Amino acid sequence: MPDRFQTDVLDKSHEKPVLVDFWAPWCGPCRVLGPTIERLARESAGRWRLVKINTDKHPELSQRFGIRGIPAVKMFSGGAVVAEFTGALPEPALRQWLSEHLPAPA
């Protein structure tokens, strides 16, 4: 994944925003947030892309991006982090966060 991170996240974020969900299978809040964020990604009609990173399998990426608690969600645009949050937001708060940080549809 670290080699694909450049392509799948940083490079793609120049085309459209990429949300990266840092999670782990043992994390209860991750299991709450995961299905919600996946559904919103499907509903987004391609406005943004979702990439999920298992922090147990990719500790080097967690370290690189300073992940201290999970779930941690970072929005990349133009190759950089432009917004982020930690913890399982309820769906209305997640929708609000997305509307505040995603560019308006063209």
pLDDT in tens, 39-77: 999 999 899 999 999 999 999 999 999 999 999 999 999
> What is the domain count for the chain?
1
Does residue 104 surpass a pLDDT of 90? no
What's the pLDDT at 1? 61
* Active site (catalytic) residues: 27, 30
Decide if 86 contacts 71 (C-beta within 8 A).
yes
Could you tell me if residue 103 is inside a domain?
Answer: no
- Structural domain contains residue 36: yes
Give the tens place of pLDDT for each residue, 10-40.
999 999 999 999 999 999 999 999 999 999 9
Q: Kindly tell me if the per-residue pLDDT of 2 is higher than 70.
A: no
pLDDT at 45: 87
What is the number of alpha carbons within 13 Å of residue 97 lying toward its C-beta? 19
33 or 3, higher pLDDT: 33
Residue 55 lies in a domain: yes
User: What is each CA distance from 8 to 28, 52, 88, in whole angstroms?
Assistant: 26, 11, 24
* CATH code, 51: 3.40.30.10
Domain range for residue 12? 2-94
Domain contains 105 = no
pTM of the model: 0.93
Residue 35: inside a domain: yes
